[in-house]
């Protein structure tokens, strides 16, 4: 059966994808349904992988042979919010002006998604020996967990990929490493009493301050430990407390206090080191101080998000292929997290490489230049040629 799909230029496809409001707090199903219709029109087999509640879904499509692993082009469909940002035009209507394409998600990262989808007819015409898989996910901007259910199926009812290219905007530099992003909320429960008689209660705020001070000490140690590879900016694991909330009045021992904190770890960092150290301090120092006048309080730390880092894998199939496609002879790092670590943890050689600059992401009037977009299209054409010969 010959494909009968409607041809959309990459820019037309980008305009279509941008038109869907896929902020992470909202469903991406209208976009997924459009993509499914488009894939069907070109006779491209795909699998929809819904989330637990069924209001979002990932999609995994295969162009070329179905009986072997291929190269995964992975992009997320969700975008960050536009509320409170001063846009010059409707953020969900692509505006092309002065050599730029403006819209929410234009560079992060619907441009990559649009290129992969729009060039399906060219992929089909190339006579692929190695399949090209297109994987679209959700919730990258919040948890990076939208790829996990699909990845779990690799090697079972889906072929194990040979390589994965995560198309975040890197100016088409090949990125082989980034830090982890791990976030927590710590809740301290105390007991209210008059501040003139602290022995009648326990201050959650004072104990939270002790724990934040400990995180500061850990942060200083991480800075001193540094980055042995010399590749990251900043050149160390960072530890940060973002919000603190607690207490009701100056003269009342605080009943509760919560603080949100994170670390962004070098790939070599044991992901349990920092939470384990804070837990030890909590049990041996902070909790004893909190309850020195009686069994008044408790401390609980909960993991919110864990985005694994991407570790260098010199000479991997993904690195070799991507460097060949972009004509580079060295790899780079990026300061932001991606879904790449989940692929790598499943044993899939993985790099991050996509058109456009992260400097334009998450801002009002987000854009990708047409020159960058065309460079991304050229990358896809070279990938098709490579997969026709691999």
CATH of the domain at 317: 3.40.630.10
In a domain, 42, yes or no: yes
**How far is residue 387's CA from residue 65's CA, in Å, rounded to a whole number?**
11
Q: Looking at residue 107, what is its pLDDT? A: 98
Inside any domain, residue 197: yes
Please tell me whether residues 173 and 32 are part of one structural domain.
yes
Q: What is the pLDDT of residue 390?
A: 78
265: in domain: yes
Quote the longest CA-to-CA distance of the chain: 84
- Tell whether 259 and 337 lie within a shared domain: no
For position 1, what pLDDT does the model report? 41
User: Do 152 and 277 fall into the same domain?
Assistant: no
Catalytic residue among 23, 113, 139, 140: 140
* 226 and 173 assigned to the same domain: no
Cα gap 110→85, rounded to integer Å: 19
- Mark whether 134 and 190 lie in a shared domain: no
pLDDT of 3: 56
Whether 237 and 186 share a structural domain: yes
Does residue 56 fall inside a structural domain?
A: yes
4 occurs within a structural domain:
no
Here the CATH number for the domain that contains residue 217 is: 3.30.70.360
5 located within any domain: no
Dihedral sign for Cα atoms in the order 96, 101, 104, 109: positive
Let me know if 270 is a catalytic residue.
no
Residues 295 and 342 in one domain: no
Q: Contact at 8 Å (CB) between 368 and 111?
A: yes
- 249 and 353 share one domain: no
β-sheet bridge partners, residue 71? 132, 163
Sign of CA dihedral 202, 205, 210, 211: positive
Provide the pLDDT for residue 4: 63
Domain termination site, one of 263, 289, 307? 307
From first to last of the 390 residues of the chain, give the pLDDT tens digit: 445 677 999 999 999 999 999 999 999 999 999 999 999 999 999 999 999 999 999 999 999 999 999 999 999 999 999 999 999 999 999 999 999 999 999 999 999 999 999 999 999 999 999 999 999 999 999 999 999 999 999 999 999 999 999 999 999 999 999 999 999 999 999 999 999 999 999 999 999 999 999 999 999 999 999 999 999 999 999 999 999 999 999 999 999 999 999 999 999 999 999 999 999 999 999 999 999 999 999 999 999 999 999 999 999 999 999 999 999 999 999 999 999 999 999 999 999 999 999 999 999 999 999 999 999 999 999 999 999 997
What angle (nearest 5°) sits at the alpha carbon of residue 375, between those of residues 373 and 376? 65
DSSP state string for 262-322: EEE--TTS-TTHHHHHHHHHIIIIIHHHHTTTSS--EEEEEEEEEE--B---TT-HHHHHH
- Report how far residue 294's alpha carbon sits from residue 300's, in angstroms, rounded to the nearest whole number: 18
Q: How many structural domains compose the chain?
A: 2
Residue 272 and residue 259 in one domain: yes
Of the residues 307, 327, 356, the one at which a domain ends: 307
Q: Residue 160, CB half-sphere, CA atoms under 13 Å: how many?
A: 8
If you count them, how many residues does the chain have?
390
Q: Which of 303, 2, 308, 338 is nearest to 140 (CA)?
A: 338
52 and 137 inside one domain: yes
How far apart CA 19 and CA 101 sit, in angstroms, is 13
Q: How far apart are CA 150 and CA 36, in angstroms?
A: 16
Q: Tell me if residue 140 is catalytic.
A: yes
What 3 state SS string does 212-258 have? HHHHHHHHHHHHHHCCCCCCCCCCCCEEEEEEEEECCCCCECCCEEE
Would you give the DSSP letter of residue 359? G
In this structure, the answer to whether residues 295 and 316 fall within a common structural domain is no
**Rounded to whole angstroms, how far apart are CA atoms 288 and 18?**
54
Same domain, 21 and 121: yes
**Residue pair 169/108 in contact by the 8 Å Cβ criterion:** yes
- HSE on the CB side for 275, CA within 13 Å? 22
Neighbours of 313 (CB within 10 A): 16
78: in domain: yes
Domain boundary among 281, 307, 333: 307
Q: What pTM value is reported for the model?
A: 0.93
Provide the domain limits for residue 214: 181-307
């Amino acid at each position: 059966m010959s494909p009968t799909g409607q041809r959309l230029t990459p820019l037309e496809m980008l305009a279509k994808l941008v038109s869907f409001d896929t902020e992470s707090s909202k469903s991406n199903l209208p976009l997924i349904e459009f993509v499914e219709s488009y894939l069907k029109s070109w006779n491209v087999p795909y699998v929809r992988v819904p989330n637990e509640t069924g209001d979002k879904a990932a999609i995994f499509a295969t162009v070329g042979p179905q009986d072997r692993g291929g190269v995964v082009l992975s992009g997320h469909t969700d975008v960050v919010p536009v509320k409170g940002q001063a846009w010059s035009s409707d953020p969900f209507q692509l505006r092309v002006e002065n050599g730029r394409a403006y819209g929410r998600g234009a560079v992060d990262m619907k441009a990559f998604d649009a290129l992969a989808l729009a060039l399906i007819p060219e992929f089909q015409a190339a006579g692929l020996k190695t399949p090209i898989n297109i994987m679209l996910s959700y919730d990258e901007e919040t948890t990076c967990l939208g790829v996990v259910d699909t990845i779990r199926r690799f090697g079972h009812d889906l072929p194990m990929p040979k390589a994965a290219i995560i198309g975040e905007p890197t100016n088409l530099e090949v990125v082989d490493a980034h830090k982890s992003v791990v976030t927590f909320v710590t809740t301290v429960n105390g007991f209210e009493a008059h501040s003139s008689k602290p022995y009648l209660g326990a201050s959650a705020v004072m104990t939270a301050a002790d724990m934040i001070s400990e995180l500061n000490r850990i942060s200083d140690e991480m800075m001193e430990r540094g980055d042995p590879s010399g590749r990251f900016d900043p050149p160390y694991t960072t530890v940060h407390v973002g919000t603190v909330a607690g207490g009701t009045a100056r003269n009342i021992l605080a009943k509760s206090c919560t603080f949100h904190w994170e670390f962004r770890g070098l790939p070599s960092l044991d992901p349990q080191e920092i939470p384990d150290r804070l837990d030890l301090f909590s049990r041996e120092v902070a909790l004893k101080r909190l309850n020195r006048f009686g069994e008044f309080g408790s401390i609980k730390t909960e993991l919110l998000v864990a985005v694994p880092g991407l570790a260098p894998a010199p000479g991997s199939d993904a690195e070799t292929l991507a460097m060949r496609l972009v004509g580079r002879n060295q790899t780079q790092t990026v300061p932001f997290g991606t879904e790449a670590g989940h692929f790598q943890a499943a044993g899939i050689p993985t790099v991050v490489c996509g058109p456009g600059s992260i400097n334009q992401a998450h801002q009002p009037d987000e854009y990708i230049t047409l020159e960058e977009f065309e460079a991304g299209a050229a990358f896809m054409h070279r990938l098709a040629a490579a997969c026709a010969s691999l």
